[in-house]
Amino acid sequence: MTTESPAADASESTAQAAPDDAAPKDRVIIFDTTMRDGEQSPGASMSLDEKLELAKILEDMKVDVIEAGFPIASNGDFESVQKVAAIVTESIVCGLARANPADIERAAEAIRHAKRGRIHTFISTSPSHRNHILRMSPEEVIDAVTGSVTLARNLCGDVEWSAQDASRTERDVLLRCVEAAIRAGAQTINLPDTVGYTYPSEYAEMFRDMIENVPGADGVVFSTHCHNDLGLAVANSLAGVEAGARQVECTINGLGERAGNAALEEIVMALRVRGDRLRFDSGIDTTHITRASRYVSAITGFPVQFNKAVVGKNAFAHEAGIHQDGMLKDAGTYEIMLPEDVGQGASNLVMGKHSGRHAFREKLKGLGYELGDNALNDAFTRFKALADKKKDVYDDDIMALVDDELAKGSERIRVVSLRVVAGTEGPQEAKLTASIDGVEHSATATGDGPVDAVFNAIRQVAPHAAALRLFQVHAVTEGTDAQAQVSVRLEEDGRIATGTASDTDTMTASAKAYINALNNLMARREKTRPPEALASGF
């Protein structure tokens, strides 16, 4: 449910409200690239199952275009685009390709069965990239634009063309490249600020220049794509929209290369909250924003900073007495949007051990989760166990628990029991029993601290060569009985897998998160290794 935000009140009563409030809003296309540019963030890799789940969330959110990967990059990327294309019915599914036939043909093959597919082909246009990466003259780049877009249009009815590093490209060269792309049949022209260098007025000027001066510009959709190196990605994207762009490329939580991409949730909420100045409509169901943010954070192990706009833990928290007093009198005094608008439950204290399955299912629905029967049963069993241990079960507890269920994937290895000795008198020790393909194995290990002992015990029951790249713990709620949510990232031969788990016992959560990562790593290995290699163990 979407509620009118208090800001509506505020803007109605301010002299700055736009004079044409009744005028219809222009539609801005939301293009999500969390699975492609977002995944390019070091360590942020996602498994196929995770991408499929994310695609469902993005579709529930009514994202217009989902860029599901870069099909030529690997067989895994190809499969992800292909499978996302097979399950998505409403959104356009897009595959990325460089300006060469092999890339474009592979992208076309990956989206072949999409209900609505798009090929997104790009080439660098700036002097820096032309001279140092491509070693091509402007004329050669323009020829490549014509050739690549023509081929893509022969293979797919919907083609987007991007000028990589557009914001650092000479205007005359960019004009000629854009003209060539339009002539060859591209319907969307994306002008990225690839290195996060531009400034809002400068980025806006570039769009105005193209829209006013390129023949055929009125027949295509211009698109923004901004990186956040100077913290300007959202401001630059909105400036592009004000200058005439009608597609915004963005990612959940601003995930992406280096400092990331423009954050979807910030773009969408800025358009919504400041509809008085920005007369645009994104079409996004914003009530799914929190769920998407939590899910992306859980599967990548990238925490959302507490004071992150829109989705941070503190985004709707009011600490100062004067603010709390104002909030009690009228939420609009300090809150420009409602937590419910972005899918944060208004009532936070929720359920206890007497709550039944029906109430649990309804609660999940309210939080934006629709689980199948098996996942619902597992989540309900875990909820009951949690309610036995923890007096107050909050929305955050329930979301952590369901995120665990969704992130579980294949479970060749499972924790059966764990006993840990911690404290000042070492050595700290862990005694673990785990089930591997249905057979129980036990080990006792010591370590430099209890977590190290737990991980050593896992290495004994399931020997493997993967290196630990991330171990991260945070408390889901306040209080000493809070659940610990643990993320673990493992790397083996360039393959990265992340695991998460939550439990009121931090050591149990750590063991489960490590084993979840190990299961995900094995699932990935199985896709790339010949079957006989699997039989030789972990």
Q: Which residues bind Zn ion (CB under 5 A)?
A: 37
- Closer Cβ to Zn ion, 203 or 394, answer by number: 203
Distance (Å, rounded) from C-alpha 426 to C-alpha 446? 9
DSSP 8-state class, residue 34: I
Decide which of Zn ion, ligand KIV, none touches 122; Cβ closer than 5 to 8 Å per partner kind.
ligand KIV
- Closer Cβ to Zn ion, 37 or 396, answer by number: 37
Is 198 an interacting residue with respect to ligand KIV (CB under 6 A)? no
Query: How many other C-beta atoms are found inside a 10 Å radius of the C-beta of residue 11?
Result: 19
| Cα→Cα distances 209→214, 215, 243, 502, Å | 8, 12, 9, 52
Torsions phi, psi for 69 (to 5 deg): 155, -170
User: What is the chain's length?
Assistant: 538
As measured in angstroms, the least distance from the Cβ of 135 to Zn ion is 22
SS3 446: strand
- Closer Cβ to ligand KIV, 95 or 192, answer by number: 192
- Pick from 225, 288, 294, 524: which binds ligand KIV (CB under 6 A)? 225
Distance (Å, rounded) from C-alpha 441 to C-alpha 231? 50
Is 192 an interacting residue with respect to ligand KIV (CB under 6 A)? yes
Is 196 an interacting residue with respect to ligand KIV (CB under 6 A)? no
Q: Which residue in the block uniquely carries the two structure tokens 């709620």?
A: 477
As measured in angstroms, the least distance from the Cβ of 249 to Zn ion is 7
Q: Which stretch binds ligand KIV (CB under 6 A): 80-88, 190-198, 276-284, 407-415?
A: 190-198
SS3 150: helix
Q: Which residue in the block uniquely carries the two structure tokens 């220049």?
A: 209
CB 253 within 8 A of CB 263: yes
Distance (Å, rounded) from C-alpha 131 to C-alpha 74? 27
- Pick from 82, 126, 146, 164: which binds ligand KIV (CB under 6 A)? 164
Distance (Å, rounded) from C-alpha 336 to C-alpha 190? 31
As measured in angstroms, the least distance from the Cβ of 248 to Zn ion is 13
- Pick from 125, 126, 167, 194: which binds ligand KIV (CB under 6 A)? 194
- Closer Cβ to ligand KIV, 115 or 258, answer by number: 258
Decide which of Zn ion, ligand KIV, none touches 164; Cβ closer than 5 to 8 Å per partner kind.
ligand KIV
Is 37 an interacting residue with respect to ligand KIV (CB under 6 A)? yes
Total binding residues toward ligand KIV, as defined by CB under 6 A: 9
Is 122 an interacting residue with respect to ligand KIV (CB under 6 A)? yes
- Closer Cβ to ligand KIV, 161 or 514, answer by number: 161
Name the pairing type of β-strands 65-69 and 428-436: unpaired
Distance (Å, rounded) from C-alpha 65 to C-alpha 274? 23
Q: Which stretch binds ligand KIV (CB under 6 A): 72-80, 188-196, 232-240, 443-451?
A: 188-196
Two tokens, residue 326? 């104002």
Binding site for ligand KIV (CB under 6 A): 37, 122, 162, 164, 190, 192, 194, 225, 227
